[in-house]
Amino acid sequence: MKVIVVGSSHGGFEAVRGILAEKPDTEIQWYEKGDFVSFLSCGMQLYLEGVVKNVNSVRYATAKGMRAKGVNVFVHQEVTSIDPKAHTVTVHNLDDDSTREEKYDKLILSAGAVPANIPVPGNDLANIYAMRGRDWAIKLKAKTVDPDVQNVAVIGAGYIGIEAAEVFSKAGKHVTLIDILPRPLQLYLDQEFTDILSDTMKDHNIYLATGQGVKEFEGKDGKVSVVKTDQAEYPADLVIETAGIRANTGWLKDTLDLTEKGLVKVNDHLETSQPDIYAVGDSTKVPFAPTGKELQIALATNARRQGRIAAKNVLGHDMKMPAVSGSSALSVYDYHFASTGIKEGTSDANGVKSQSVFVTDTTQPPFVPDEAGNEKVYFKLTFDPDTHRILGAQIMSKRDVTANINAVSLAIQGKMTLEDLAYADFFFQPGFDRPWNIMNVAAQKALQDLDQ
């Protein structure tokens, strides 16, 4: 059997890896449009801050290493079209501008997504960057030490925007963080958490221009110099656009069924509208455990699961994509936070009735001194007030307690209730935690609130 895999990031890599693990004698052709296989954009901040020294190490695999395992790896070659009836793809070799056709028995598309470009005047000026992929990582690294860059405007206050703002703040630049939403990280955290993080960012020379829409980029000598919003103007020697992504599926619109937003429609086995063609990653939707509905949740964890399940189905298994909770985590200076599932701020958008409880505690018993690592922890639990089913949670502390969110994610997927979580078994050792885990505390408080 011959399997063609298009795209080498999370989903594509895991699809290839899954096939190799089970049937290593399968003929695999793996295509990457760029000249570098499996760069991990989620590791970019570590590289930009110097924690990781070599940009070429921010990857899952090398072309040489995968070829040694029998995979036919093609870099700088783009699959430009598909003929589902003939079971062929057209390949454009970007090195010599030649084209050819390749036959497949099964095809796995990990088309991914590209940064959304803000459609305003001046968006073609120099020094307007993105923060996705190896090429941009190298360019951004140079700007962190460029003495001509003093003012940096980051557009988009989600995860990538926060990472970009922190990188350039630590590099000694003045950063303006612009977002049309009123709070940074609004889609990931409720206000109890973002208020603390907003103050932290302000303390580190990051100006929050939230609740503002970008209207124009102004330039000087062909380079961006000012970002104009609907409320103010901000000097900018460098602009980093992180305001969302768009599916890289324009080339598929005449071949596969797509959503209005250009996402590839897949069934629960990740099969597309054409036989023997599967799709995974950021250009698809995944089943969302709290609601059972499908959502676009662009996380590496979801893409890897999809890649492995697509590989299983390509090899003849009957495996459905499991529901996910949308769990994610990030650090903002000294604070570490994580969230999963439904938040108070996202329940309406998901059509869910919810109620939440917010608790604060310390990570260890009171007799453990602060200097020994006993830190304050903030936790918010979201649930259905009628059924008591757990819907989501958020946690934050200067100590890394984010792994608690993995337990809540399992509770969501297992359809556990407040009663289940209130007295769930978690270990206690005063060097690590409290006798009652904060998840127990929150669930018990929620039940008390419901009884009143």
List the catalytic residues.
Answer: 10, 42
C-alpha span between 267 and 262 (Å, rounded): 16
C-alpha span between 44 and 48 (Å, rounded): 6
Helices (H) and strands (E) in the chain, counts: 10, 25
Q: Return phi, psi of residue 47, to 5°.
A: -70, -45
DSSP 8-class letter at 154: E
C-alpha span between 41 and 113 (Å, rounded): 12
Comparing CA positions, the residue from 341, 360, 337 lying closest to residue 352 is 341
C-alpha span between 20 and 26 (Å, rounded): 7
C-alpha span between 408 and 341 (Å, rounded): 9
Helix (H, G, I), strand (E, B) or coil at 398: coil
Contact 268, 321 (CB under 8 A): yes
Comparing CA positions, the residue from 342, 294, 323, 301 lying closest to residue 413 is 323
Q: Return phi, psi of residue 162, to 5°.
A: -65, -40
Token pair 């699959």 in the structure block, residue:
79
Start-to-end Cα distance in the chain = 63
Q: Is the dihedral of CA 6, 301, 36, 72 positive or negative?
A: negative
Token pair 């949740």 in the structure block, residue:
297
In 128-180, DSSP assigns E strands to: 128-130, 151-155, 174-179
Beta-carbon contacts of residue 142 (< 8 Å; ≥ 6 apart): none
Contact 267, 284 (CB under 8 A): no
Virtual torsion, Cα 50, 56, 59, 65, nearest 10 deg: -150
Q: What sections of 204-344 are H helices per DSSP?
A: 300-314
C-alpha span between 137 and 159 (Å, rounded): 16
